[in-house]
Amino acid sequence: MAVDFEMYLDFHRTNGGTGKLFKFKFLEYREGFLKLEAEFTSETLNPNRSVQGGQMTSMLDDVTSLLLIYESRGSIYPTSTNLYSIHHRPLFAGKVIATAELIKKGKNIATIKGELYNLDEKLATTLIHSAVLVNWNKK
């Protein structure tokens, strides 16, 4: 499973700016659920040295999208229509755990929940991601 998923992470790293920035590492997959290790670097920090909230939202946008892309074997690409994030506590530079869980997927629209945890397993951010599912043929 990890080798199979690595192909999608490699594509994301090669073709997307955040794919390089967040340094995703595969941890776990089961149908409708994805868990990755990720990292916030100094480029993602506010002047007070905590992670900027938009960076947390961006990371969860990527993780929730990767779940949909993987489950479609790359045949669909989600186009976000709404990203609603709630920040429960600050994060700082270093590794985090990011999860994505499919809430509902129809023919054209999906809703996915994303969460970020610090290494003490405390919830830091929750994201509700709504997306239109676009057929995608990467060339």
List pLDDT tens digits, range 103-114: 999 999 999 999
The pLDDT score that the predictor gives to residue 51 is 97
The pLDDT score that the predictor gives to residue 1 is 60
Q: What is the mean pLDDT of the chain?
A: 93
The pLDDT score that the predictor gives to residue 8 is 87
Phi and psi at residue 42, to the nearest 5°: -60, -25
What CATH number corresponds to the domain at position 111? Answer: 3.10.129.10
When computed from its CA atoms, the radius of gyration of the chain, rounded to whole angstroms, is: 14
Task: For residues 90 and 101, give the distance between their C-alpha atoms in angstroms, rounded to a whole number.
Answer: 22
Domains of the chain: total = 1
Q: How far is CA 45 from CA 19, 81, 98, in A?
A: 17, 26, 18
Q: Which of 66, 98, 68, 76 shows the shortest CA–CA distance to 85? A: 98
HSE-up of residue 85 (Cα within 13 Å, Cβ side): 21
Question: Is beta strand 33-40 parallel, antiparallel or unpaired with respect to 94-105?
Answer: antiparallel
Amino acid at 112: I
Task: For residues 4 and 23, give the distance between their C-alpha atoms in angstroms, rounded to a whole number.
Answer: 17
The pLDDT score that the predictor gives to residue 49 is 96
The pLDDT score that the predictor gives to residue 2 is 63
Domain that holds residue 128: 2-135
Cβ atoms of 97 and 37 within 8 Å: the answer is: yes
Direct distance between the N- and C-terminal alpha carbons of the chain, in angstroms, rounded to an integer: 24
**Which portions of the chain are predicted below pLDDT 50?**
none
